[in-house]
Amino acid sequence: MGDKQPAVRQVVAQDDAVVYLEGHGDEVGNVDLKALRRKIDRRLMPYMFCCYVLQFLDKVMLNYAAVMGIKKDLKLTGNEFSNTATWFFIAYLIAEVPNVYCLQKVPAAKWLGGNVFFWGIAAAASAGAHDYRSLLAARVFLGIFEATVGPSLMLISSQYYTRSEQAPRFTFWYVGLGVAQILGGIISFAFQHVHHASLEGWRIMFLMLGLITAVVGTLTFFFIPDTPIKAKWLSESEKVALLQHVGENQTGVWSTTVNLKQIRESVFDIQLWLLTLTTILLSVSSGVVTTYSSTLIAGFGFSGPISALLNTPSGIVSIFFTLLVGYGIRRTSHRWAWNVLCTIPGIIGGGLLSFLPKNDTAGVLIGIYLVNAIVATLPIIYQWTMANCAGHTKRAFASALVAGSFSIGNIIGPQTFQAKDAPEYRPAKIAVLATQAGAAVVSVVLFFYYARQNRRRDQTQGRVNETMIDETKWAGLTDKENPHFRYAY
């Protein structure tokens, strides 16, 4: 035990939870953890849910604007529409680099709220676009400010919940994506019936949603606390009980110290690159769904308003699989298996899109809807990353890396839609099929990697017990450094 004391003394200066618990250790009361969880859910989940709804809604509005006349109004030609979607994610990817540092120095809630406000301004500014360049500029700024949403929500969730509790919470705010798909279709349908206003319908849509987003960002900034320690709506005994409860994660709560050693470890960590590869493969289809689903549906000869409404079942599919996965992981764990399960409808959908004749409207529509099952895989990846990466700097780096890899897939996805392949876009559809199959294979590889790591640690260190966890849960160690850490799979 003596050789562990220097590590503990080092941690006291690193993780705020250690300092707080040392000063409030005698304030342990009889706290009902179930009631405490419900209290935290009521305070955090509405803001996190709204942020995720709006980040997808603001992003997918370009998809709906495509059938509302934006290409004609801005005189977009060739691959210019695809390029605006691609540059959004290029900006998103580049912004993940400073995000690693900012999420270490600025509380995730404050960084999230500020960025949500500014992406709302950027979304509203899209209404003023008058040509390709101005639309591109607005989308670039939108990508920069939206880049933090995934990493911030991941970090906030990991501060308040244990690894098993995080899965349903990730599911709840991620359901916002499916809700946004449904709302987007309805909103687009409504604004396509605006014919006598001084502004085109898509401009009013961008302006309205942008202003709503800015308001939500302001509320998020002021009402989500920096850390559990600073939550004014928690009593001192509730804070102590919460910190002791989440201590079993062995990942820490908050530290402003940038640990370069943890970044170096992250760069050479095989699990992170497997998670990154899985996310890229899954996100290629996400890029297709986000940007071109309305265009594909309109290709059957449907009018703009009907194309928007026919896109709403995609949201129902997204919500169903997201809830199914959240429930399944909570009850059975086996994240890798649920990941593979969600790729199966995606593979079937990609096959229907790729090989059915163009005049088989019903079959191809079913294919478009089934591909949306793969959106449920992203909260699995998010939760997997937070569960298996310990050390605050490593978690910040890992969350930014996974979010960045999501943007890489979304950069590739729209670029598979080339003007020369219209109207069937067969290469893009085949890309959906191939990337889903590849993601399923890598998920199985991750399972074998984690199982092997846990088995090796059990053989060298013995089975983990509560005493071992107590020794290391606030030690600021990474998952590689902590011999008592076991990976979730």
Q: What pLDDT score does 287 carry?
A: 67
Q: What pLDDT score does 4 carry?
A: 40
Rounded to whole angstroms, how far apart are CA atoms 191 and 215? 21
Rounded to whole angstroms, how far apart are CA atoms 223 and 231? 9
Domains belonging to the chain, first-starting first, are 28-472 (1.20.1250.20)
- Cis ω on the peptide bond leading into residue 151 (within 30° of 0)? no
Query: What are the average pLDDT values for consecutive 10-residue runs of the chain, which has 489 residues?
Result: 40 58 66 91 95 86 83 88 85 87 87 95 92 93 91 86 82 88 86 78 91 96 91 90 78 68 92 94 76 74 80 90 87 88 88 79 86 86 86 84 85 75 75 87 95 90 59 68 85
* Alpha helices (H) along 147-200: 149-160, 163-191
- Round the CA-based radius of gyration of the chain to a whole number and report it: 23
Q: What pLDDT score does 74 carry?
A: 93
Contacts of 287 (CB under 8 A, 6+ apart): 85, 89, 409, 410, 411, 412, 413, 414
Largest CA distance in the chain: 78
Rounded to whole angstroms, how far apart are CA atoms 288 and 293? 7
Dump the DSSP string for 352-383.
Answer: HHHHS-TT-HHHHHHHHHHHGGGGGHHHHHHH
Q: What pLDDT score does 51 carry?
A: 93
Angle of CA points 413, 180, 117, to nearest 5°: 95
What single-letter amino acid sits at 274?
Answer: L
Q: In 447-479, which positions are buried (b, 16+ CB within 10 angstroms) versus exposed (e)?
A: bebbeebbeebeeeeeebeeebbeebbbbbbbb
DSSP 3: G
Q: What pLDDT score does 6 carry?
A: 39
Rounded to whole angstroms, how far apart are CA atoms 6 and 12? 10
Q: How far is CA 256 from CA 128, 225, 267, in A?
A: 39, 16, 20
Signed CA dihedral, 192, 196, 200, 205: sign only? negative
Encoded tokens for 333: 């764990």
Residue tagged 């590869």 (tokens): 277
Dump the DSSP string for 411-442.
Answer: HHHHHT--GGGTTT-HHHHHHHHHHHHHHHHH
Rounded to whole angstroms, how far apart are CA atoms 489 and 432? 25
Query: Do residues 392 and 476 make contact, with C-beta atoms less than 8 angstroms apart?
Result: yes
What single-letter amino acid sits at 463?
Answer: R
Contacts of 137 (CB under 8 A, 6+ apart): none
Signed CA dihedral, 72, 74, 78, 84: sign only? negative
Query: Do residues 61 and 205 make contact, with C-beta atoms less than 8 angstroms apart?
Result: yes
Rounded to whole angstroms, how far apart are CA atoms 40 and 466? 26
Rounded to whole angstroms, how far apart are CA atoms 104 and 260? 12
- SS3 per-residue string spanning 245-289: HHHHHCCCCCCCCCCHHHHHHHHCCHHHHHHHHHHHHHHHHHHHH
Q: Both ends of the chain: CA-CA distance in Å?
A: 30
Query: Do residues 300 and 69 make contact, with C-beta atoms less than 8 angstroms apart?
Result: no
